[in-house]
Amino acid sequence: MKERTENMDPLLNMREITVELPRRVLLRGVNLSVRAGEAVAIVGPSGSGKTTLLNCAAGLVRPQSGTVVVAGRNIGETSDDETAGHRLSHIGMVFQFGELMPELSVVDNVALPALFAGYADARERAAELLSLVGLDGYGDRAPEELSGGETQRAAIARALVCEPALVLADEPTGSLDEENVRLVTGVLLDACRRRGAALVVATHDASVAASMDRSTRLRGGVLESLDLLPDALPADGGRRP
């Protein structure tokens, strides 16, 4: 596994991001910077635009205005194919329900992005990461044999298999019970920090947000720092104690 070198520049740098629908503004001049090894929560209720913000960071949604720079590259200036290639090499994604492919074994699910990226050691990488997230020996199982928490840990391993600079997690604990929320959040944080990856988690869970280095709240299309607000532990988000 490669070691990430120290760099003071943000791995994710979003500036003045605006996304509008015909009758609704989802994001209104949003700014967000995240550095290597830093974990940031974006809190807010369903429909507040959290997923849209993550999709802009991943290059899946192109904002009407603003810039998105990931690992030194402005993905707003690249073609769709170039953006997809940059995403494969530099961005890992974790979804709410894991989204493992049922026709593949667990290890093949984890290895898949690395296979697409052309890594000859894709399965070895996948096996190493499954061990890291506490799923050693689970590689030959079918996804349907995993519990919800195990599925999410496998999804975390898959997100890390190409050694991304940035990991984006969209409600990764939204379908889990309290015990698995703690377990999966800890695994996600530990795995990203071990590799120096920047982590952005969209969540409505205050306990998840409290585990991050800092928390922000998306409200009315505007991103606010919860660390600067006196009422920073609402039901829909939280901050570090």
Instruction: Convert the pLDDT of each residue in 114-139 to its tens digit.
Output: 999 999 999 999 999 999 999 999 99
DSSP alpha helices (H): ranges in the chain?
50-58, 80-90, 106-116, 122-132, 148-160, 178-194, 206-211
DSSP 3: P
Q: What's the confidence (pLDDT) of residue 7? A: 52
Strand partners of residue 215: 41
Q: For tokens 């690249």, what's the residue? A: 78
59, 14 contact by CB (below 8 A):
no
137: amino acid identity, one letter? G
Task: Determine the length of the chain.
Answer: 241
51, 167 contact by CB (below 8 A):
no
DSSP 38: -
Q: Domain residues of the chain, as ranges?
A: 12-228
Q: What's the confidence (pLDDT) of residue 212? A: 96
Q: How far apart are CA 47 and CA 45, in angstroms?
A: 6
Q: At what angle do helices 122-132 and 148-160 cross, to 10 degrees?
A: 130
Those residues of the chain that have pLDDT short of 50 are 1-6, 228-241
Q: What's the confidence (pLDDT) of residue 8? A: 67
Q: At what angle do helices 148-160 and 178-194 cross, to 10 degrees?
A: 10
Q: What's the confidence (pLDDT) of residue 23? A: 86
Architecture of the domain delimited by 12-228: 3-Layer(aba) Sandwich (3.40)
For residue 132, give Cα distances in angstroms to 97, 118, 151, 164, 191.
Answer: 20, 22, 14, 16, 7
Q: How far apart are CA 91 and CA 98, in angstroms?
A: 16
Q: How far apart are CA 127 and CA 107, in angstroms?
A: 6
Q: What's the confidence (pLDDT) of residue 36? A: 93
Q: What's the confidence (pLDDT) of residue 229? A: 44
